[in-house]
Amino acid sequence: MELTPRTGPESEGGDAASVAPRKKRRMSLPALALLIAVIAVGGFVVVQALGSATTFYRNADEAVAQRESLGVKRFRLQGTVVPGTIVQTGDGVTFEIAYNGVPITVQHVGDPPEMFKENQAVLLEGHFVA
């Protein structure tokens, strides 16, 4: 009767040299630092994206009512371009938009989009001038 313990394939007639014990792999310090840096940069990008996504959206009548509390913070503004209010300026265009009958004057710097016209619903992003 044989009482030796059987520990693996070599006990069944296999080659003991072909089976080496596995070493536990540990992440090296530079690789760990790189992983942490990548996660930190990714987190920063996500926070920045969420920050710009939280620009508040208001109808023109709400923006006029909340002008004091909005101050010079950026927000999105919805309304319809009032007919007869589009005026070309030296550096852009000035016009009025209205929502629920409440108008607000808008100054746009640069060329307006090709689809911009009177009685057109628009969504703008900007801030009140202090």
pLDDT band at 123 (very low <50, low <70, confident <90, very high): very high
Q: Is 106 contained in some domain?
A: yes
What type of residue is 25? Answer: R
Chain position carrying tokens 């990548």 = 38
Is 99 within 8 Å of 124 (Cβ atoms)? no
CATH of the domain at 65: 2.40.50.140
Cβ(119)–Cβ(81) below 8 Å:
yes
With respect to residue 12, please indicate whether it lies within any of the assigned structural domains: no
Q: Residue 10 domain-assigned? A: no
Residue 107 confidence (pLDDT): 93
Global pTM value: 0.58
Number of separate domains in the chain: 1
**129 confidence band (pLDDT: 50, 70, 90):** confident
pLDDT digits (tens, 9 = 90+) for 51-93: 766 667 899 999 999 999 888 888 899 999 999 999 999 999 9
